[in-house]
Structure 1
Amino acid sequence: MATRQSISLSEPNAEWLKSQVESQEYASHSEVINDLIRQRRKQDEEALTRTRLLLIQAENRLASEGYSTLSVEDIKKAVLAKKG
């Protein structure tokens, strides 16, 4: 069931929204807004999936290699050496 909302848009955003409907890319303002929200939700889900994967990889690396014995300063030097 759709929920009716009232929103305020800046003039440039309102013009862009209007142009999307006028170009017949979308049938209505609501369709544009819903599509933008769907796209953002998908991006957020993908970012969360990437973050979870990186955490799992880090946990697996820790399990196999253990913790580093290097100091923070040693790690900084190693990173800077790789960049240089």
Structure 2
Amino acid sequence: MATMNISLPDALKEFVETQVSERGYGNSSEFVRDLIRHEQSRSQLRAMIVDGMTSGRGSEVDEHYFERLRDRIRAAAPDA
């Protein structure tokens, strides 16, 4: 694992330390890694949204659309 040093103003350092203690992180590195993972997920979601928006015309979203969706879900559900 690589090491990266960052400089924070006192107020941000205190915030990180509070988050570590209140949210059960082992140390500040775990907290920062978690923040970075969340940002990676957000970036991937944004990219997927943009891809969807630029992929062309989508389906008409009306009652028939939702009924077909419900039918597909029912058909895929295991019999109880």
TM-score of the superposition, structure 2-length normalised? 0.65
Where 1:22 maps in the other structure, the secondary structure is helix
Aligned AA for 1:21?
V
Q: Which amino acid aligns with 2:51?
A: R
The runs of 4+ residues in structure 1 deviating greater than 4 Å are: none
CA offsets 1:8-61 (integer angstroms, 9 cap, x no match)? 01222101111122225211100000000000010000000000000003xx47
Larger CA deviation: 12-21 vs 37-46: 12-21
CA distance in 2, matches of 1:20, 1:45: 25
Deviation readout 1:47-77 (Å, 9 max, x if unpaired): 00000000003xx47xxxxxxxxxxxxxxxx
CA RMSD of aligned residues (A): 1.5
Please name the residue that 2:25 is paired with.
26
Report the count of equivalent residues.
Answer: 58
Structure 1: gaps (5+ residues) = 62-84
Structure number, greater radius of gyration: 1
